[in-house]
Every structure is written in structure tokens, then in C-alpha cells.
Amino acid sequence: MRTTGERPVLVGEQVLKPQARKFPDWENAHLFLELVRCKSFRAAAEHVGLSVNALRKRITGFEQSLGVTLVTRHVDGVRLTAEGDKILAAASKMEEAARALIQARDATDRTVAGKVRFGVTEGLGTLWIAPNLVEFQRANPKLLLDVHCAMRSVDVLRMEVDIAVQLIRPTAQELRVVKLGRMHLVGFAAQSYIDIYGMPKTLADLKNHRIVIQADEDAQWQAIYNRIFPGVNPEGLVSLRTNVSSAHYWSIVNGAGIGALPTYVYNMGAPLVPIVFEDVDLRVELDIWMTYHVDAARIPRVRRLADLLIASFSPRHFPWFRDEFIAPADLAKAYTGKTLVNPFAGFARMENGRVKRTE
């Protein structure tokens, strides 16, 4: 019996009242399609893996949500009502749309495309991540990587980027945070510098040397400096201060002074000598965090980049990212992977007024 307005529908002794208007449940619509195809509750229940009573309850709930009777029960199975015939046509279109949705998902998963905005601190981005991104882009040619390298941490919560690698752990609940590893910074110098100034053996010896510092805020580098050299005027001791990791790296490589660098640069073939003190273990440890919005985890292209970053900082494969410190001289024994590429290899530099290729 067809409904009129809010008038209840009688089915035997059962009264169907239309529920508040809302989108139909696709799962129940799917069960209705299977019932029509199988032509009986028993055959349909066996096909979909439900009991007969459970299937009847789901179909009754579907009828109540629509406010119409879809099928009538007979000794030889079920028969569609006029309303059920119309709902069958609409439910078939829903099934086609669901299949198209799955196909679109599968196609997107196979060919990751679009743009991913990636933020990373300048040092990690230049010295470690950049070589890995080249191979990643070749494997995902339809993916545009928009990389933002800067000293400051980008704001993932405000969607400045989709995913970020930073050295300060975020605290916002809306963000997913993953610890990638730990970075260990120790003192390094070029052999050309040591040939002129000698190798410092104690912390006190540094007062007779030239120090190179990387910092973008006065308060930050002053706090570190005062902890190591309390009461010592930086003028005459600090020879160079930069706010860019690449400039900091090159100033040390070219003999400007002694500076702190992550231990992984030594294992990448950087032409540097680690500084080992007899009286103090002078190093800085910084945890590396990957963060992205919880909703971004469901986007395949963001998930693909996140997987790459986790692999790129794996402490199991790259011992310099382990929590425990491994001296630079011992890293070669601890690392068993493929030869790493120096990100600055091939850069031209001047020597005796002429351009010379770095090796």
C-alpha cells in the first residue's frame, strides 16, 4: 500500500512509519539488490553470509527508512511491489556509482598524481632529503613536489604544507606526529684549517681557535655559546655566523673554522675531520619529527611521501639516526648499505683563481 504524506503503511499487522529524511544506507540497498537477484530470503541470506532472520531485519529496516514496502513474501519467494520496482532501479544506479568510486580509488592508488607541499629544515632538506627526492620523483612522475626548505618550522596545522620534517615536536592534537630518528651533531674542521691552527685536544684549547656558528636567532646561538664558553667574548673567537646550513657546511669545508655538523655528512664523503676532545664529550642531539594533519593521512600522494621519509630516516638502515651515539669514525663499520652520494659532489669551487671540480 503506497504512503501518502505521513500516513502509516500497513503490511499484514506491521505498521511502517517513514523516518526523518536522510540518505539511504548503501549496505541495506545492496542487500535489497541481492534479495531481488536471489528471489528468496533463504538463498540471499546464504549468498551474503547472514542468517535469514538477520537479513529480514535489515530489509525491514530499509523499508522503514524509505517509508515504502519493497517486497511481498510468497511460498515461492519474494515479489517486488510497484514501489520496490522503482527503488530497484535507483539502487542499481547506486551500485554502479559505488563500482565507479572503487575504480577511481584504485586508479588513483596506482598512479599517484597531484601536488604535495613538503616542508623541511634547510639542513636536512639540502644535505639529506634532496638526493632521495630525485629518485622518488622519477618513480612518481605525475607527482609535483613543492619543497619548502627553511630554518623555521612550517605550520602544518594552518596547512602551509601537507607534511613536514622538523626538529621541534608539535603538540597540536589535530596533527599526527612520527619520530623519524635522532640527529647527532659534533665538531668538524677541514684538514686545511688543522694544518694552520692545529687539532684542539681539550675544550679550553678552543679559545685559541676559530669557531663557525649556524643560527637564525640571536637568543638561540647566544644560549649555546654561553653554555660552552661562559664569560668569553665571541668577538675574536667566532669567525663566522650564518643562518643557512649549506653556507655553514661550505665555510667549514673551506677552512673558516670549527663548526658543528650532523655525523651523517662525514659518512657521505664530506672532506672533514671530526674533532674529538679528551676532557669532554661535546655534542648536540636533536630528535627528527615528521608531522602531518590527521586527514592528510588518507590522501595517497601524502601517504606515499610519508612512507619515503620513514624509509629515508630508518635508524635500522642508517645508524647515524639511531638514538645512541656512534662516533663518526665508527659509522663506516656500522653502515652496510649502498654508497651514499655527497650532495655537494660536482659543485664547482675556486682554487688558485681557477674553477676546480670537487671530488
Report residue 169 as a C-alpha cell: 615536536
Q: Please give, one letter per residue, the 3-state secondary structure of 259-277.
A: EEEECHHHHCCCCCEECCC
Q: Is the dihedral of CA 215, 249, 312, 275 positive or negative?
A: negative
313 C-beta neighbours (distance < 10 Å), count: 24
Chain segment 321-345, per-residue pLDDT in tens: 999 999 998 988 888 877 776 666 6
CATH superfamily of 184-285: Periplasmic binding protein-like II (3.40.190.10)
Residues of the chain with pLDDT under 50: 1-15, 347-359
CA dist 208 and 24 (Å) reads: 79
Predicted TM-score (pTM) of the model is 0.63
pLDDT at 295: 76
User: What CATH number does the domain located at 9-110 have?
Assistant: 1.10.10.10
Distance CA 115, CA 351 (A): 41
Compute CA distances 300 → 109, 157, 295, whole Å. 6, 19, 11
Helix (H, G, I), strand (E, B) or coil at 350: strand
In this structure, what C-alpha cell is assigned to residue 155? Answer: 605550520
Sketch the domain layout of the chain as residue ranges.
9-110, 184-285
**Is the Cβ–Cβ distance between 141 and 112 less than 8 Å?**
no
User: Could you tell me whether strands 354-357 and 238-242 are parallel, antiparallel, or unpaired per DSSP bridges?
Assistant: unpaired
Res 103: pLDDT: 57
pLDDT at 56: 92
Burial degree of 43 (CB within 10 A; 0-12, 13-18, 19+): middle
The reported pLDDT for the residue numbered 12 is 45
CA distances from 247 to 126, 187, 240 (A): 11, 16, 10
pLDDT of residue 197: 93
